[in-house]
Structure 1
C-alpha cells in the first residue's frame, strides 16, 4: 500500500511552524518579518503547509479548571472485542473524554478524561467500565501539559 507523500520541509517551514505553534493568531505580516520573507511568499508557504497536511488547524488552549473540570484522569480500557462501534458510540456521548488512543499491550485504549469532581469521575468511569475492565489514574499535576512538535 503506497504511503501518502510527505512534504519536504526546510528551515523556513520549520520557523513558520515554530512561530505558529507559539501563537496561532500571529498575522501573516508579523510572521513574514520573523522569518524574513515577503507577506505573499509567507502566505504561500502557510497555504502549502496547510494543503500538504502539515498544519491541520488552529485552536486555543483553555484552562480546564477555569471551565469547571477539577479532576484529570487517564483511564486504561481492556476492550474484549474487535467490534469498536460501541466504544466509539460511548466516547462520542461523553464530552468529558478529551482524548482516546488505541494502543498496544494489555489495554486496548488509553482515554484522557476531565471531570468536575471525583463523583463525576466515578460516573464517567462507570460508563466506560460497561465496555470492559478499566484502570484509572488520577493526575496530581502536569509538569509538561503539552509540548510543541519539533523537526524529526
Structure 2
C-alpha cells in the first residue's frame, strides 16, 4: 500500500518527472536520502515502472491521430496482434472484450499514410476508425487513494 508521502512523491513526479531529487525532497518535505530511499522502494515494488518524456507528436510531423478498433477475421487474432505490435505508427494498443479485439492509437502524417496502414491489415481484420479531434483528458495517474 501507499502512504501519504508515497502518494505525494508520485503526484509531484507525474507533473514533472525531470525534477531533481533535491527539489522533489523539498516539495515532499523530506531529506534527499529519505526521498531517494522511498523512490528506490517504489521502483523495487513495481509501483514506478519508468521515467519518461512527453513529446508532442505534431512537432514530429504527425498531424493525425486515429483510434482504430480492430476485429480480426477467424483464425487471424495472433497474426493481427503481431502486425499491430510491429506497426511503428501504433503508439498504444489494448486487447479488449466486446465486439472488437483491439483498440489501437495510431499517429500518422496524413490520410494517405493512414489508408496504407489500414490496407495492410484489411485482408485479415475488420476495422473501424475514428479521428481524434482533441484530447479532453491526457494520460494521467489514476486517483492515488489511501
Question: Does the alignment reach a TM-score above 0.5?
Answer: yes
Contact 2:80 2:125 (8 Å CA) reproduced = no
1:27-66 paired onto structure 2 within 5 Å: 27-66=20-59
TM-score (norm: length of structure 1): 0.88
Shift of 1:146: 2.3
Shift of 1:37: 1.1
2:78 matched to which residue of 1?
85
Pick one of 122, 139, 142 that aligns with 1:149: 142
Deviation per CA, 1:104-138: give whole Å up to 9, x if none.
10001101100110011101111132321111111
Secondary structure, in 3 states, of the residue corresponding to 1:134? strand
TM-score (norm: length of structure 2): 0.92
Pick one of 10, 13, 27 that aligns with 2:6: 13
Structure with more helix by fraction? 2
Give the total of aligned pairs.
145
Q: 1:123 to 1:83 in 2, by over 3 A?
A: closer
Structure 2 Cα separation of the partners of residues 38 and 83 of structure 1: 55
Give the gaps of 5 or more residues in structure 1: 1-7
